[in-house]
Chain A
Amino acid sequence: MTTAIKENNEFKNVKYLLTSSMRTLILVVLYNERKNLNEIRNELKKPSATILHGLKELEDNNLIKKERKYYSLTSNGYLLATNVIKLINNWYSIETNKIFWNNHELSGIRKEFLNKLYLLKDVEFVSSTTSDLSNAFNTYMTLISSAKKLTIILPIYSENHFKYFIDLLKSNHLKHLRILVNTQILKSMQGSRYIKKSLLENEKVEIIESDENLKLFLTYSEDFMTLTLFFKDGHYDDSQIIIGKNKNALKWAEELFRSYNGYGD
């Protein structure tokens, strides 16, 4: 029975940190900044007694410390607060684009990246509508037309895309195009003389071959990233796209690409 008792507490710390809004909020409020009771009360807009109770609990558990009327996080408190905020942002990030995440096959995004969706917290979700069926696709094309450097995980054979890439290369604005494709699609591309000559053998193009079954269409340049996915039934969906333009989203995309590229350069 000892193991059963021990296992009963498996989630004790998780529950401690998340189930009391007061404890959670105090950790968040003190993140990166020491504050006195007055300042904490002004931010949380809760009665002093409730706040003092929460502060006492956290102090007893060595997550915050009090020095001359000022409360601040301890080392442990700082580590946990950072990860509480990450969790809340992760959940918020899914919540914001729930339709996108719920509609698609997510196996192409490795687990460690699904656990870092907080980095995509501020992305924009663009969906095609019945009046504009290619809204997402056109948004994508406009976006990549101003890029100087593009990196793409390409899971589909699409002449529309290839033509557009070739045009961009010809216009001389696009200086470097790096494409990761799987063997099967690469073979199809090699089968077309036009694509072979204008894309595969173009000196500005770098092709990386992968033996994986790729389930994501990921693109990034110096200042944006986009992601489209497959439906759960296996069909590619070009009607919904997410677009990120901040540092975090770019970082997420770059690292995800690197994980497919075997962490090589």
Chain B
Amino acid sequence: MAVMKMIIERNYIDEDMMFIVKSEIRLKILTELNKQPQSIKEIVKKTNMAYSSVSNNLNKMEYKNHVIKENRIYELTPMTQLYFNQLMEFKRSVDVVKNFDKFWDKHDLTYLNDESVNNITELYGSELIETNPIDIYKTHNNVKSQLKASENVKGILPYIHPEYPELFEKILQNNGRIELIIQKDVYKIMSTQIDAKLRQKSIKNGNLKIHILTNNVDIYLLICDKKMNLGLFKNDGSYDQNRILNSDTKESLHWAKNLFETIKQSVI
């Protein structure tokens, strides 16, 4: 791949940026200055670092044109700010991976496309819901309460929980909308459990849209009115019912809708 070649052959990280990345102190100073321009004293107070090392590093960074000083107040130069924000974006992606380590580890990520992995920081602020011995239905109950309160649901469902048909029925009765990407066999089972008249009516008026899958999609994605839920398959091919990543941020809903549309395009 050309990109790889480029990264391997040239200096993979710009020297000026490496100078920053290498030092925790400099990274912290820039984090502070990225919030607002401020004096050495203020930075020292907020970071608990020694005055001498803050001042010493600010001097070095001023010399390298990362910061400029005016009336004792330091601020980032526009270019360093641009570079630094991308580093912070990278840090957020690392945090999303580390914070939900158990969710990703030994799980199948094949169905996350490049774009969704590149935009993984949109999942920052999610919550990992895990079952535990005293609450083994925690993940399901969480989803259930969302379905009860939603009017608009989109889902990629590798299985149907026995309670889903009834929940879906309620949504359709209230004139809500449901769009599902689902396997033929799973749909067959589900459809027998939803009132036939209601089902046909809903399909006719567009409230119920079903996209039938011919091959497997080993991912669980359910987008409700206010939250999105992501579930993964383990590397051994079984669905992990004990963990869902759940989030109500605008960014994560955007992430989930994008993934839903991409997978929809690939199956239609």
Taking beta carbons and an 8 Å cutoff, which residues of A are in contact with B? 4, 7-8, 10-11, 13-15, 17-19, 21, 24-25, 28-29, 31-32, 43-44, 62, 74-76, 78-80, 82-92, 94-95, 98, 101-102, 106, 111, 114-118, 232, 263
Contact = CB atoms under 8 A, between A and B. Distances in A.
Interface of B: 1, 3-4, 6-8, 12-14, 17-18, 21-22, 24, 27-28, 47-48, 78-79, 82-83, 85-87, 89-91, 93-98, 101, 104-109, 114, 117-118, 120-121, 235, 254
Nearest to B31: A10
Contacts of B95: 13
Given A80-B97, A87-B90, A117-B86, A75 B109 contact: yes
23 contacts: A11-B24, A14-B91, A15-B24, A19-B22, A21-B12, A25-B8, A28-B7, A62-B105, A75-B108, A76-B101, A76-B105, A79-B97, A79-B104, A79-B117, A80-B97, A83-B120, A84-B90, A86-B93, A90-B89, A101-B79, A115-B89, A115-B121, A263-B254
Contacts of A85: 3, 7
B85 A114 contact: yes
A79 B7 CA distance: 18
Contacts, number: 134
B92 to A, nearest CB: 9
A85 B86 CA distance: 12
A87 B28 CA distance: 19
Contact of B118 (A10, A11, A86): A86
Nearest to B96: A79
Contacts of B18: 18-19
A101 B8 contact: no
Contact of A83 (B28, B118, B235): B118
Given A19-B18, A79-B120, A13 B94 contact: yes
Question: By DSSP majority rule, is chain A's interface helix, strand, loop, or mixed?
Answer: helix
Most buried by B among A15, A19, A44, A75: A75
A17 B94 contact: yes
B4 A29 contact: yes
Most buried by B among A31, A83, A117: A83
A61 B104 CA distance: 14
A25 B9 CA distance: 10
A75 B14 contact: no
Most chain B beta-carbon contacts within 10 A, residue among A4, A114, A115: A115
A111 B3 CA distance: 24
A102 B78 contact: yes
A24 B17 CA distance: 15
Nearest to B108: A75
A24 B91 CA distance: 15
Given A15-B21, A101-B79, A43 B97 contact: no
B12 A88 contact: yes
A73 to B, nearest CB: 10
